[in-house]
């Protein structure tokens, strides 16, 4: 995904409990304390699994419009969060974490409503901005907060005292007729991204609708430590709804998002969080035991871990990345996963001297290239507003450079997979086509054949649409929009 500037740690000032908060909920009541105790005991009895609607996302699934009581505190705090996040000068997920950390007394229910409000506002920033014109949303976060909560839960759920002087503007925003808005606004996209997607896809209506939804939680079972059946049985025994993913043989899909990191199966390294599309890209590389493999843009190692497990922790798996901090996240993850074949190496650039020394040495190389991340708008809705066309040009150049230099690592007869989490041809097919034109000693291997050899079957329409390439789409496959091409050196 695109490189982003990290927001300042002090983006949000620490909040002291306010008078209103103290009067509304002075302390936990007897009943609340008894419920807390019961939950703790139940979780202990279940070996660490917490039952019930604990996380914001899970809690929100039960909320129906008109059934949620929005307090003044929620309106104020959502306003405070949006006041920073709508400036769009840092990743929203990082800013959200800083916001909630600055406000430790905020209850679970309020956190859930505020988190959903932030995501809703970012997903629908096109229509919100259009309805508020000429006032930029970042300048009027209270109006955005009120309009968001009213669109989600109904205007009657808002406390009249919180609306105050915003009553007129709020009614105008809510009355906006979006059928009169330009098509890119109706799609909740910037015009330039809308135009690129329109030029490529026939079913954009469904695609845009899917990009406004939340993504499911996909887990990858670490086959070194457990089988998928074992994990599914353990989840079922603890009352957690989960299904096998439709294509990835090691994947498990959870419709809700429980507090996974406290679960025994997570702590013991039996599962990791990984979108099904990402799992399939590791499979496309067909890693084998005792091979020499390189994950060129390893980041914090999502795909490295999947590749290492498919190699059964044998051979050598080099994990390169220019971002040392991100790569540092891989070491604890590989320990937890029980992998001893991974060598994380921070490189200066794709032209690093150490890479030159390794030329022609690898059986397989994965290039999970930096990209615009257009395939991840469900999870990162702020990204669509923070991207600029110049960023696509900049990233495109890096993609071509990285592919060129990483390809030199592959030995004769070896393979590489070029992948992105983008749905744009310019970062995908066009990069690969330019490479193949300049390198006749390489050829494209049909992704369908590589999957078929592993017993993974897609609908024929998948290949009719994308030929030898692999492109997952949120509205077709319920995954992020991953792309991959398998290339073989003659
Ligand atoms: C899409 S992310 C990788 C995600 C990772 N493979 C995973 O599955 O979690 C792309 C990575 O490319 C790295 N990168 C950017 N430029 C690079 C370069 N010239 N050489 C190597 N890595 C680079 C970025 O730091 C980023 O971590």
Structural contact between residues 136 and 152, judged by C-beta atoms closer than 8 angstroms:
no
Pocket test for ligand 1, best of 321, 419, 481 (most atoms within 8 A of CB): 321
Please give the DSSP secondary-structure letter assigned to residue 5: P
Structural contact between residues 152 and 120, judged by C-beta atoms closer than 8 angstroms:
yes
Look at the block and give the residue holding tokens 């991100």: 326
Q: Whose CA is nearest to atom 7 of ligand 1?
A: 302
Please give the DSSP secondary-structure letter assigned to residue 37: H
* Half-sphere exposure for 134 (CA within 13 Å, toward CB): 0
Pocket test for ligand 1, best of 5, 370, 420, 479 (most atoms within 8 A of CB): 370
Strands 342-346 and 442-445 come out as unpaired
**Ligand 1 atom with the shortest distance to the CA of 323:** 25
Residues tagged in the binding site annotation: 321, 368
pLDDT given at position 40:
55
Q: Write phi, then psi, for 168 (nearest 5 degrees).
A: -65, -55
Question: Considering the entire predicted model, what is its pTM?
Answer: 0.89
Which residues lie with the beta carbon below 6 Å from any ligand 1 atom?
Answer: 1, 278, 296-300, 302-303, 320-323, 326, 349-350, 368, 370, 398, 402
Report helix, strand or coil for 392: helix
Residues 6 or more apart in contact with residue 154 via CB below 8 angstroms: 65, 66
Q: Which residues are catalytic?
A: 421
389-440 pLDDT per residue, tens: 999 999 999 999 999 999 999 999 999 999 999 999 999 999 999 999 999 9
d(CA 257, CA 355): 40
Spans in the chain with pLDDT lower than 70:
1-9, 16-66
d(CA 464, CA 437): 23
Q: What are 241's two structure tokens?
A: 């709804």
Please give the DSSP secondary-structure letter assigned to residue 170: H
Structural contact between residues 172 and 128, judged by C-beta atoms closer than 8 angstroms:
no
pLDDT given at position 41:
55
Cα angle value 222/228/234 (rounded, 5°):
100
Report helix, strand or coil for 317: strand
Q: What are 277's two structure tokens?
A: 């599309």
Structural contact between residues 219 and 272, judged by C-beta atoms closer than 8 angstroms:
yes
Could you tell me the distance, in angstroms and rounded to a whole number, from the CA of residue 408 to the centre of ligand 1? Answer: 18
pLDDT given at position 57:
37
Could you tell me the distance, in angstroms and rounded to a whole number, from the CA of residue 237 to the centre of ligand 1? Answer: 38
**Ligand 1 atom with the shortest distance to the CA of 421:** 1
Q: Whose CA is nearest to atom 10 of ligand 1?
A: 370
Structural contact between residues 270 and 220, judged by C-beta atoms closer than 8 angstroms:
no
Could you tell me the distance, in angstroms and rounded to a whole number, from the CA of residue 3 to the centre of ligand 1? Answer: 9
- Outline where DSSP puts E strands in 108-244: 217-221, 243-244
Element (H, E) at 193: helix 191-200
Could you tell me the distance, in angstroms and rounded to a whole number, from the CA of residue 321 to the centre of ligand 1? Answer: 6
Handedness of CA 244, 246, 251, 257 (dihedral sign): negative
d(CA 440, CA 137): 51
Residues tagged in the binding site annotation for S-adenosyl-L-methionine: 321, 368
């Amino acid at each position: 995904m695109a490189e982003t500037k990290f927001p300042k740690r002090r983006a949000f000032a620490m909040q002291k409990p306010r008078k209103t908060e103290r009067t509304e909920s002075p302390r936990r009541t007897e009943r609340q304390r008894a419920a807390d105790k019961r939950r703790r005991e139940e979780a202990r009895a279940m070996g660490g699994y917490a039952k019930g609607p604990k996380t914001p996302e899970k809690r929100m699934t039960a909320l129906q419009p008109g059934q949620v009581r929005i307090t003044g505190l929620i309106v104020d705090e959502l306003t405070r969060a949006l006041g920073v996040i709508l400036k769009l000068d840092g990743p929203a997920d990082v800013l959200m974490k800083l916001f909630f950390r600055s406000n430790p007394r905020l209850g679970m229910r309020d956190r859930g409503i505020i988190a959903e409000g932030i995501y809703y506002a970012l997903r629908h920033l096109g229509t919100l901005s259009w309805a508020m014109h000429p006032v930029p949303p970042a300048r009027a976060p209270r109006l955005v907060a009120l309009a968001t909560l009213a669109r989600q839960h109904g205007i009657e759920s808002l406390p009249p005292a919180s609306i105050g002087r915003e009553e007129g503007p709020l009614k105008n925003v809510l009355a906006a007729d979006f059928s009169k808005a330009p098509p890119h606004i109706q799609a909740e996209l910037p015009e330039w991204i809308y135009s690129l997607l329109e030029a490529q896809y026939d079913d954009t209506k469904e695609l845009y609708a899917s990009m406004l939804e939340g993504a499911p939680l996909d887990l990858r079972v670490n086959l070194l430590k457990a089988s998928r059946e074992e994990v599914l049985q353990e989840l079922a025994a603890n009352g957690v709804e989960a299904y096998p993913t439709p294509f990835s043989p090691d994947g498990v899909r959870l419709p809700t998002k429980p507090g996974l990191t406290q679960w025994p199966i997570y702590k013991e390294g039996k599962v990791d969080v990984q979108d099904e599309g990402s799992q399939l890209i590791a499979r496309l590389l067909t890693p084998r035991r005792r091979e020499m493999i390189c994950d060129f843009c390893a980041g914090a190692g999502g795909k490295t871990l999947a590749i290492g497990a498919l190699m059964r922790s044998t051979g050598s798996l080099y994990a390169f990345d220019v971002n040392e901090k991100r790569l540092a996240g891989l070491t604890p993850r590989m320990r937890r996963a029980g992998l001893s074949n991974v060598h994380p190496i921070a490189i200066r650039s794709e032209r690093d001297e150490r890479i030159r020394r390794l030329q022609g040495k690898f059986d397989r190389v994965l290039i999970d290239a930096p990209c615009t991340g257009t395939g991840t708008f469900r999870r990162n809705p702020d990204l669509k507003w923070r991207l600029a066309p110049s960023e696509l040009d900049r990233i495109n150049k890096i993609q071509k450079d990285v592919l060129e230099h990483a390809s030199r690592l592959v030995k004769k007869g070896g393979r590489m997979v070029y992948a992105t989490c983008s749905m744009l041809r310019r970062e995908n097919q066009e990069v690969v086509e330019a490479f193949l034109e300049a390198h006749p000693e390489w050829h494209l291997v049909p992704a369908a054949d590589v999957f078929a050899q592993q017993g993974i079957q897609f609908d024929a329409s998948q290949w009719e649409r994308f030929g030898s390439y692999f492109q997952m789409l949120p509205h077709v496959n319920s995954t992020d929009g991953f792309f991959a091409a398998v290339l073989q050196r003659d």
